[in-house]
Amino acid sequence: MTDRVPSADHDRSADHDRSADHDRSADLRARWARSLTAARAGAADAPDPLPYADNLLARWAEPQRRYHTTDHLIAVLDHIDTLASHAADPDLVRLAAWFHDAVYLPDRSENEERSARLAERGLPEAGLSPAATAEVARLVRLTVTHAPAGDDTNGQVLCDADLAILAAPPEPYAAYTTAVREEYGFVPEDAFRAGRAAVLRQLLELPRLFHTPYGEREWETRARANLGTELAQLTS
């Protein structure tokens, strides 16, 4: 048997993929730098934002992730941009998005708390004030329940952005559920179906999934339909 020589088309495809990954990483690093710089509000002698972005991007690229990847981070940041006018401080919400799944191990239950603590350690070193750091950590912890108070506009934006996938069209929603199943590949099928069904019922029992006017108007009905369809498939 002889070794196969990669074709020119294969080389071009690989080069294209590397270029796309580089462009996406560069865009994310720029988005992080803009948000951190704005949140620092001109703090003197603040350190370079980019090493902090690189540390977080390495976390989001860990091999155990299937759904909670940089694709999810980008989607949440994009949704925050859509909802930004509703937030009291959208740049702090964006920083919270970077941290909200920075620690993610599917077999652990304290990921949000560990992610919040990571923010509490890293953001002061990156030049953020104690008050701003505390707000970012609070927002990260809020993603445990996705139940912001009625006057918590920052929390409403982060929670809506994080759950917006629930309102995706059928194909991306199916890709989302497949990726979640892959993250929990260590769980037996019967146990996963029962656990996932319980999560879906809990979500459907909430009086509202989305808390911003945009989220309630644009995402609520479709998300409930997706959840209901998935629940029926799991329990049939």
Regarding predicted confidence, which is higher, 166 or 46?
Answer: 166
116-173 pLDDT, tens digit per residue, is 999 999 999 999 999 999 999 999 999 999 999 999 999 999 999 999 999 999 999 9
Whole-angstrom Cα distance, residue 19 to residue 16?
Answer: 5
As a whole-number percent, the residues of the chain with pLDDT over 90 amount to 87
Does the pLDDT at position 100 exceed 90?
yes
Does the pLDDT at position 1 exceed 50?
no
Domain ranges of the chain: 22-235
pLDDT band of residue 2 (cuts 50, 70, 90) is: very low
The domain defined by 22-235 folds into Catalytic domain of cyclic nucleotide phosphodiesterase 4b2b (1.10.1300)
As a whole-number percent, the residues of the chain with pLDDT over 70 amount to 92
192-230 pLDDT, tens digit per residue, is 999 999 999 999 999 999 999 999 999 999 999 999 999
Q: What is the mean pLDDT of the chain?
A: 93
